Structures are given as C-alpha cells and as structure tokens.
C-alpha cells in the first residue's frame, strides 16, 4: 500500500515549478512553431534554425546537470539522515521538506572566488543586458507574451530563453519607422531601475553567502527584472503605426534612442568593472594561463549546480556571438566584438553591439528624414 506523502505542500511546490515551465512553453510555442515553419527568407530561416538548435543544446546541457543536482541533493539528504526507505512519493516529500533546493543551488554557485567568477557573468548579463534587450526588442517587434521569455529564462535557463527569443526576433522584423515602435518613458525608466538595482544586488551577492540576507537579496534581484515585463504584460505591445519616419525623427522621440544607448552603455561599463574586479580577486594565486584554465574547468565540474550555471554561461557566450553575426550585416566592428566576447564576456560586448545598433538605426532614420525634406 502506497503511503500518503507527509508533506504534500512541498511536492506541490515542485510540481508547480514544472507546471509553470509547461505553461510558459505553451505561451511562446506559437511563435516558435512559426519560426520553424516560416521560410519567408532563406537567410532568416537558417538563422532561426540555428537559434532553435542552440536552444536545444543549451537546454540539454543545463538541465542534464540540473537533474544531476536534484539527484545529488537527494542522495546527500538520505546519507545525512540515514534514510533507508526506497524511493516513494512520501520519501520524496520528506526530502523536499528537509532541503532548500533554490537556496542551496544559488549559495553553492555564489560561494568561492572561482565559482562566483562563473556566476557573476550570468547575473550581470541577465540584469543589465538580457532584461533591456527582451523588453525593448519585444516591444518594437511586437512579439506576443514577451514577458514569458524572461520568466522562462529564470526558471529554465537564460541561454535557452535567449536562443528562443532570438529565433523569434528573426521572424518578427523590427518596426523602425513609427513612433509606436519606440518604447515609452515608463518602460525605459523601469529598465533603468531594474538594471541599476539589479547590478547593486549582484555586487552584494558574494558578500552575503553566509548571511540570512542572501536569499532576500537574490529574490530582489529576480523581482526587479520582472517589473518592466509586468508593465509590458499590462499595457501590451503597439498594434499600429501612428507616425511617419520624418515625424518620428523630428519629434522628441529620438531622445529615447539616446536613453537606450546610455542604458546599454551603463550596463557594459558596470559589467566590465564587476567582472574585471572579480578576475583580479580570483587570479591573485595563479600565475599561468594553464592554471587559470585548470581552475575554471575544475570549478565547472565541482558540483552539479555549478556545472548547470556554468553551462548556461558557456551557452550565453555562443548565443550572443551568434546573434551579433546573424542580426544585420556583419562588419569589421561586429567581428571585433565577437572576438572580444571570448575575452571580455558577452555581458560587456553584447550591450556595446546593441548600443551601436541603436545608434545606426537612429542615423538611418535621420538620413531618410533629410531625403524627404
């Protein structure tokens, strides 16, 4: 006879987590299916297939280690408490009640200089690059349920969500010629709040791993990132153009482009400061590149939770470089940023690319405006 779980609430929380993933996947699935089926342009279709493939690889890499983390936590719990019963829903509920998976995973990947060197790259990318990117581009391209991509990234993997979003971006061409495609000041302001506030929590994170303030700080980080997406979910995306190119450029709307450029610039500069500071703190005890690579690899493999987030970081590198090459027409500057990504991190180079792309778009609109005068 199967025993009734002692802690059904703990089981339901884990079940709700996977249910949320399923709901989010269902919400974004229409755009993903359209990305796979639509063959409007061969180059765009090939790019979409590339990002869908990268999303699959990212999911397999990160979640193989995530399930390994679950197994590691379960075995460790059984060993610590001397549990000898065979696996059952009741034992599973006891395990979930006796551990804090979210807190344990994050404390693991934020404790220690080398572990944080991996994790800080994902945290800075998420708060100062990914959040503005999906909010701004999702608004401009009128992508349905854009908020779902951020939540999906937080509960699955940022790299997986990034690749899926980029695939959809190639399907929804950017609207550059109307004021309705320009984000509102409220959205831009909320992105400043989310990015700057998020960076502040990132800066504090490694100093709080032995403190009760660690989890609240982490929750604030995640909560801030949702604010701009809540605004988008409540207000929706524009449905029709309302101004000509000339009207947009001559109006104060172009100042929003400078605000966006500044936002990406602040993100890049802040990220290079935080990451370089961590590098300097980390490599003080090593002297050769081989030792650095050895330490990075050993840290990557030291714990399943660390392996999962480190895999996420590696995939973010690949996906960010792919986006810079696939989106638009590659130039010498673009290739330079791609190569610099291997050294500086996509947290630094991708916002530079996005700022330059924003400036190029604004310059194009101005030239079109001058021709119509």
The domain spans of the chain are 8-372
- Mean pLDDT calculated for residue range 88-105: 94
Q: What is the pLDDT of residue 288?
A: 82
Q: What is the pLDDT of residue 243?
A: 42
Q: Average model confidence (pLDDT) for the chain? A: 89
Q: For the packed helices 158-171 and 146-155, what is the interaxial angle rounded to 10 degrees?
A: 160
Torsion angle of alpha carbons 159, 161, 162, 165, nearest 10°? 160
- Cα→Cα distances 314→72, 104, 296, 341, Å: 22, 22, 12, 11
Q: Please give the Cα distance from 304 to 307 (Å, whole number).
A: 5
- The encoded tokens of residue 155 equal 């509960």
SS3 state of residue 327: coil
Q: What is the pLDDT of residue 354?
A: 96
- The encoded tokens of residue 67 equal 């399930």
Q: Please give the Cα distance from 324 to 270 (Å, whole number).
A: 21
Higher pLDDT pick, 44 / 247: 44
* Among candidate residues 229, 228, 230, 208, the one with its CA nearest the CA of residue 218: 208
Q: What is the pLDDT of residue 242?
A: 41
Q: Please give the Cα distance from 186 to 183 (Å, whole number).
A: 8
- Cα→Cα distances 23→19, 151, 234, Å: 6, 11, 18
- The encoded tokens of residue 136 equal 């701004």
Read off the pLDDT band of 33 (50, 70, 90): confident
Read off the pLDDT band of 268 (50, 70, 90): very high
- End-to-end CA distance of the chain: give it in Å, rounded: 83
Q: What is the pLDDT of residue 244?
A: 43
pLDDT digits (tens, 9 = 90+) for 304-315: 999 999 999 999
Contact 119, 275 (CB under 8 A): no
Q: Please give the Cα distance from 147 to 151 (Å, whole number).
A: 7
Degrees to nearest 5, angle at CA 288 with 285 and 293: 90
Name, in order, each residue with C-beta under 8 angstroms of 346's C-beta and a sequence gap of 6 or more.
121, 125, 129, 316, 317, 320, 321
Q: What is the pLDDT of residue 328?
A: 74
- The encoded tokens of residue 133 equal 């990117």
SS3 state of residue 211: coil
pLDDT over 80 (residue 55): yes
Higher pLDDT pick, 5 / 181: 5
Q: Please give the Cα distance from 126 to 271 (Å, whole number).
A: 11
* Among candidate residues 86, 176, 88, 96, the one with its CA nearest the CA of residue 136: 176
Higher pLDDT pick, 54 / 243: 54
Contact 34, 116 (CB under 8 A): no
Name, in order, each residue with C-beta under 8 angstroms of 24's C-beta and a sequence gap of 6 or more.
148, 151, 152, 155, 156
- Cα→Cα distances 226→138, 198, 219, 286, Å: 14, 11, 11, 39
Q: What is the pLDDT of residue 60?
A: 98
Q: Please give the Cα distance from 237 to 135 (Å, whole number).
A: 10
- The pTM is what? 0.91
Q: Please give the Cα distance from 131 to 15 (Å, whole number).
A: 27
- The encoded tokens of residue 227 equal 């604010």
Percent of the chain with pLDDT over 90: 71
Q: Please give the Cα distance from 267 to 103 (Å, whole number).
A: 27
């Amino acid at each position: 006879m199967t025993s009734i779980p002692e802690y059904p609430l703990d089981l339901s929380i884990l079940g709700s987590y996977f249910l949320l993933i399923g709901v989010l996947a269902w919400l974004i699935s229409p755009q993903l299916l359209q990305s796979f089926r639509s063959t409007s342009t061969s180059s765009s279709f090939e790019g979409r297939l590339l990002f869908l493939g990268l999303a699959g690889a990212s999911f397999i890499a990160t979640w193989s280690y995530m399930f390994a983390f679950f197994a590691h936590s379960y075995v460790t719990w059984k060993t610590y408490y001397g549990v000898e019963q065979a696996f059952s829903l009741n034992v599973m509920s006891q395990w979930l009640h006796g551990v804090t998976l979210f807190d344990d995973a994050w404390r693991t990947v934020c404790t220690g200089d080398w572990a944080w060197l991996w994790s800080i790259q994902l945290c800075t990318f998420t708060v100062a690059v990914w959040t503005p990117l999906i909010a701004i581009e999702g608004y401009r391209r009128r992508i349905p349920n854009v908020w779902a991509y951020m939540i999906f990234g937080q509960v699955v993997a940022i790299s997986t969500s990034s690749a899926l979003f980029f695939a959809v971006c190639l399907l929804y061409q950017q609207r550059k010629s109307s004021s309705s495609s320009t984000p509102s000041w409220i959205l831009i302001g909320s992105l400043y709040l989310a990015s700057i506030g998020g960076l502040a929590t990132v800066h504090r994170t490694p100093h709080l791993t032995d403190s009760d303030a660690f989890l609240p700080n982490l929750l604030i980080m995640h909560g801030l990132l949702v604010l701009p997406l809540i605004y988008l979910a409540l207000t929706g995306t524009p449905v029709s153009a309302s101004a000509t190119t000339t009207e947009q450029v001559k109006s104060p709307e172009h100042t929003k482009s400078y605000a966006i450029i500044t936002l990406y610039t602040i993100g890049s500069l802040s990220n290079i400061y935080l990451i370089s500071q961590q590098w300097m703190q980390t490599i003080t005890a090593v002297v050769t590149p081989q030792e650095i690579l050895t330490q990075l690899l050993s840290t990557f493999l030291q714990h399943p939770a660390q392996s999962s987030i480190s895999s996420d970081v590696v995939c973010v590198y690949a996906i960010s470089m792919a986006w810079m090459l696939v989106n638009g027409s590659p130039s010498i500057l673009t290739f330079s940023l791609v190569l610099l990504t291997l050294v500086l991190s996509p947290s630094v180079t991708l916002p530079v690319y996005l700022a330059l792309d924003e400036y190029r778009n604004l310059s194009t609109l101005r030239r079109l405006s001058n021709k119509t005068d």
